[in-house]
């Protein structure tokens, strides 16, 4: 169960859009967010000389998919300079270090492996690492330290706007019946959850394959094409099926993806009792 936390964010340059250093005030782990354009400024900071775990964050060309590369190093300056030269996709680096400079290579190697597994499990960011990774041998006391470091890093990354390890929706098995909403129509049987981030259409939801003529060549049509191209939806006969949970910024976009037509998601999504999402959440 989540407990209250006090998180401090320090702005070295006084610019909220620049380098940001986040920490839970009672713990030693820090996460430093570095815009790529300010990489040289970060490399002059003493924190860049530590053993570190790092995350390179970027988007696909059309801005619809998030990407992450996870790595660890004992020579952070050299590694980030190499990635700046060789990797095109990333826009920000998130660097996890210890305020007391107490991370060692064994910590970093286990954390890299563990973070790769947890990122893939969450499925929120596309994986740019390309390999499965091998679990390193880690003594039990160090592994316990690493899991505590990971918990802190997970919270700090999400606080900075990068919830790499958080699934877009809690497992359906843990959701209460009254939290589920349904979108039903011709060839459509969708299930979803309204969350603080937006509306999540759940894996296995079924929608219409065909678009109505009025949305052809519109943003709604292009949205459905992207969902198919990215593998979020797959075609099955005359229907489309969601291959995984997917977060939409609004209930209406979630309904459009299923129905293949213009839709007001606040009215299309209904509870098991038949009440609209509007009636349950806004009225």
Q: Residues 11, 40: one domain?
A: yes
Q: State residue 60's pLDDT score.
A: 76
Q: Residues 25, 69: one domain?
A: yes
**Residue 37, Cβ neighbours under 10 Å: how many?**
10
Q: Residues 208, 111: one domain?
A: no
Asked if residue 165 is part of any domain, the answer here is: no
CA dist., res. 26 & res. 151, Å (int): 13
CA dist., res. 108 & res. 163, Å (int): 20
**pLDDT tens, position by position, for the chain (283 residues)?**
678 999 999 999 999 999 999 999 999 999 999 999 999 999 999 999 999 999 999 987 666 689 999 999 999 999 999 999 999 999 999 999 999 999 999 999 999 999 999 999 998 999 899 877 789 999 999 999 999 999 999 999 999 999 999 998 866 555 565 589 999 988 899 999 999 889 999 999 999 999 999 999 999 999 999 999 988 999 999 999 999 999 998 999 999 999 999 999 999 999 999 999 999 998 8
> How many Cα atoms within 13 Å fall on the side-chain side of residue 92?
18
Q: Residues 102, 189: one domain?
A: no
> How many Cα atoms within 13 Å fall on the side-chain side of residue 197?
16
For the chain, how many structural domains are there in total? 2
**Residue 177, Cβ neighbours under 10 Å: how many?**
8
Q: State residue 168's pLDDT score.
A: 87
Q: State residue 45's pLDDT score.
A: 96
Q: Residues 31, 144: one domain?
A: yes
Q: State residue 65's pLDDT score.
A: 80
**Residue 131, Cβ neighbours under 10 Å: how many?**
7
Look up the domain containing 176 and give its range: 172-281
For the entire predicted model, the pTM comes to 0.83
CA dist., res. 154 & res. 123, Å (int): 15
């Amino acid at each position: 169960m989540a407990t209250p936390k006090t998180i401090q964010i320090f702005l070295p340059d006084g610019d909220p859009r620049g380098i940001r250093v986040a920490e839970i005030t009672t713990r030693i782990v820090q996460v430093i967010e570095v815009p790529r354009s300010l990489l040289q400024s970060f490399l002059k900071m003493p924190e860049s000389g530590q053993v570190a775990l790092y995350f390179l964050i970027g988007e696909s060309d059309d801005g619809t998919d998030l990407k992450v590369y996870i790595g660890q190093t004992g020579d952070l300056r050299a590694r980030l300079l190499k990635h700046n030269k060789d990797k095109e996709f990333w826009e920000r680096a998130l660097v996890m270090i210890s305020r007391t400079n107490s991370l060692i290579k064994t910590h970093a190697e286990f954390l890299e492996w563990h973070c790769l597994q947890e990122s893939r499990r969450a499925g929120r960011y596309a994986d740019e690492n390309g390999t499965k990774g091998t679990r390193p041998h880690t003594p039990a006391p160090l592994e316990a330290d690493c899991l505590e470091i990971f918990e802190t890093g997970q919270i700090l990354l999400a606080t900075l706007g990068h919830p790499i390890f958080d699934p877009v929706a809690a497992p359906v098995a843990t959701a209460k019946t009254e939290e589920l909403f349904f979108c039903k129509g011709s060839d459509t049987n969708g299930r979803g959850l309204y969350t603080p981030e937006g509306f999540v259409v759940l894996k296995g939801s079924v929608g219409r394959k065909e678009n109505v003529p009025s949305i052809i060549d519109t943003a709604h049509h292009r949205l459905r094409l992207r969902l198919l191209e990215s593998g979020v939806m797959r075609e099955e006969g005359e229907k489309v099926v969601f291959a995984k949970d997917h977060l939409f910024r609004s209930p209406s976009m979630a309904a459009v993806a299923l129905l293949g037509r213009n839709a007001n998601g606040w009215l299309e999504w209904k509870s098991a009792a038949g009440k609209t999402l509007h009636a349950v959440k806004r009225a």
